[in-house]
Amino acid sequence: MSDASWDPALDNFMAHCGAEKGLAMASLEATRFDLARLRRWAEAEGISAPISLRDNHLRSFLMESAGELGPSSRARLLSTLRSFFKFLLAENLISVDPTTTLIAPRRGRKLPAVLTLNQVERLIETVDGARPADLRDRSILEILYGCGCRVSELCGLDVTDLDRSEATLLLRGKGRKQRLVPIGEPALEAVGLYLRAGRSDLTGKSPDAALFLNQRGGRLSRVSVWNLIKKSGAAAGLPESLSPHTLRHTYATHLLEGGADLRVVQELLGHADIGTTEIYTHIDRAWLTEAWLGAHPRARRK
């Protein structure tokens, strides 16, 4: 590539991203959008070709763009710039990569929403019927909060995964990794009632090994669990953003609030990296601050 003006440089780079890097269409569109933003900024600054850009130019561009972008978009923009100039360097169009001195912005982590204990109890109490589906749904709500499992793990449960004598549940997480988690008395009682008086009425002609069955006797789907959470959440007057994962977040947060060790929570959640679990320490600290503000006589001015 002999011409290093904007059009050929961008066209060749996008061809490289599609053909050699194999980026998906959405990623290609995002890359094209980021580079179009860079080009508009550069041309407004009188910079007619990408090879004329220096690190101070890119720093100014990123600072001006930061106000219009969220943390993820800012990180993606820098990643696009690095890929683009690495490509120009490989094509011998530049002798120095101007992105090597740029520092990636810290990506903020959005804290997951959690429920209070009162909200959890209201949610569970929305299902109190005696029909087989009611007994099943009550068990599902108890297990999602009482065991902190993912919805996929819940739907993958078989009857044999419940050990009622040991009060444990065998979960199969990401990568089919197995872990045993304790199941509390309320959840154990709810599941026991469902097994005695509900599941047999849902079993079809060909009995399924699944613990939780749908009306046709097959394994319950994740969509059905989502619908249950939405319906029960609305009945309990909880936020529309409520999801099965909210109960998992709530489980972890309440454990830490109760004094559980972070490593224990990591094992119970099935996190491979404790860094994933550490986000709950931020929630825990927020809860402690809130509790302090409400309880300490010198927390606020009169």
Confidence of residue 286 (pLDDT cuts 50, 70, 90): low
For the cut 60, the answer to whether the pLDDT of residue 299 exceeds it is no
Report the chain's mean pLDDT, rounded to a whole number: 85
In the chain, what percentage of residues exceed pLDDT 70? Answer: 87
The CA R_g of the chain, rounded to the nearest whole Å, is: 27
Mean pLDDT, range 223-234, rounded to an integer:
95
Q: What is the pLDDT of residue 203?
A: 84
Phi, psi angle pair for 163, to nearest 5°: -110, 100
Mean pLDDT, range 207-220, rounded to an integer:
90
Confidence of residue 20 (pLDDT cuts 50, 70, 90): confident
CA distance 170 to 172: 7
Q: Counting beta carbons within 10 angstroms of the beta carbon of residue 75, is it exposed (0 to 12), middle (13 to 18) or buried (19 or more)?
A: middle
The pLDDT tens digits of the residues spanning 158-187 come to 999 999 999 999 999 877 789 999 999 999
Least confident of 145-159, 200-214, 218-232: 200-214
Q: What are the b/e assignments for 149-187, b being 16+ CB within 10 Å?
A: bbbebbbbbeeebbeeeeebbebbbeeeeebebebeeeb
Mean pLDDT, range 84-105, rounded to an integer:
87
Mean pLDDT, range 78-94, rounded to an integer:
91
Token pair of 33, please?
A: 């959008």
Q: What is the pLDDT of residue 192?
A: 95
Has domain 6-90 been given CATH number 1.10.10.10? no
Q: Where are the domains of the chain?
A: 6-90, 117-295
More confident position, 44 or 296: 44
CB 131: neighbour CB atoms within 10 A?
A: 12
How does DSSP assign 221-249, residue by residue? Answer: PHHHHHHHHHHHHHHTT--TT--HHHHHH
For the cut 90, the answer to whether the pLDDT of residue 206 exceeds it is no
Least confident of 17-31, 125-139, 177-191: 17-31
Instruction: Give the CATH fold of the 117-295 domain.
Output: hpI Integrase; Chain A (1.10.443)
Confidence of residue 202 (pLDDT cuts 50, 70, 90): confident
Give the active site residues: 150, 174, 245, 248, 271, 280
Q: What is the pLDDT of residue 1?
A: 40
- Whole-model pTM: value is 0.60
For the cut 60, the answer to whether the pLDDT of residue 66 exceeds it is yes
How does DSSP assign 274-287, residue by residue? Answer: HHHHTHHHHHHHHH
Mean pLDDT, range 249-278, rounded to an integer:
84
